[in-house]
Amino acid sequence: MSLKDQITEDMKTAMRAKDSERLGTIRLLQAAMKQKEVDERITLDDATVVAIVDKLIKQRKDSITAFEGAGRQDLADKEKAEMAVLQAYLPERMSEGEVAAAVKAIVAEVGAAGPGDMGKVMGVVKTRLAGKADMGQVSAAVKAALAG
């Protein structure tokens, strides 16, 4: 079953269970997926769905930071609940050690040396590790690998 089909099934389950918070989050995800399909006239594969989920999670993280900074814990809690629902659709994440090892291999493969090559390395890293690792963590690992 594709990830897109799984999301549709989860929406139906949430409807039957009258789980309004989960249902709202899944509908939000489906709207983002439909928007991408319509805008680009494509049929989404699992990798694209994971990229959309990643983007929505990043938006939630930014919102949580902003809401907590403004003293709106109620809104921050709502965003955290949505983020938890969305994270269920992401594949298992790589550990920090695995990310560092993968980045070192890519740096050696590309022949990068020094911080000036960060863009070249990040281009390759993004295609290989998208959806498998947190890109903030990946970026830090690339900086560390190029600095040392």
Model confidence at 148, pLDDT cuts 50, 70, 90, reads low
Among 85, 10, 86, 11, smallest CA distance to 49 is for 86
pLDDT computed for residue 93 by the predictor: 79
Give the residue range(s) of CATH 1.10.1510.10 domains in the chain: 3-87
- Average per-residue pLDDT for the chain: 87
Alpha-carbon dihedral 144, 142, 119, 65, rounded to 10 degrees: -100
CA dist 3 and 57 (Å) reads: 16
Per CATH, domain 3-87 is 1.10.1510.10? yes
Whether the CB-CB separation of 79 and 64 falls below 8 Å is answered with yes
127 vs 17, 27, 95, 138, 147, CA distance in Å? 38, 27, 18, 12, 22
Q: Is the pLDDT of residue 89 over 70?
A: yes
Within 8 A by CB and 6+ apart from 26, the residues are 7, 10, 11, 14, 85
pLDDT tens figures, 23-81: 999 999 999 999 999 999 988 888 888 889 989 999 999 999 999 999 999 999 999 99
**Fold exhibited by the domain 96-147:** Arc Repressor Mutant, subunit A (1.10.10)
pLDDT computed for residue 27 by the predictor: 96
CA dist 148 and 145 (Å) reads: 5
pLDDT computed for residue 80 by the predictor: 95
pLDDT computed for residue 12 by the predictor: 95
Give the residue range(s) of CATH 1.10.10.410 domains in the chain: 96-147
Please tell me what DSSP assigns to residue 114: S
pLDDT computed for residue 78 by the predictor: 95
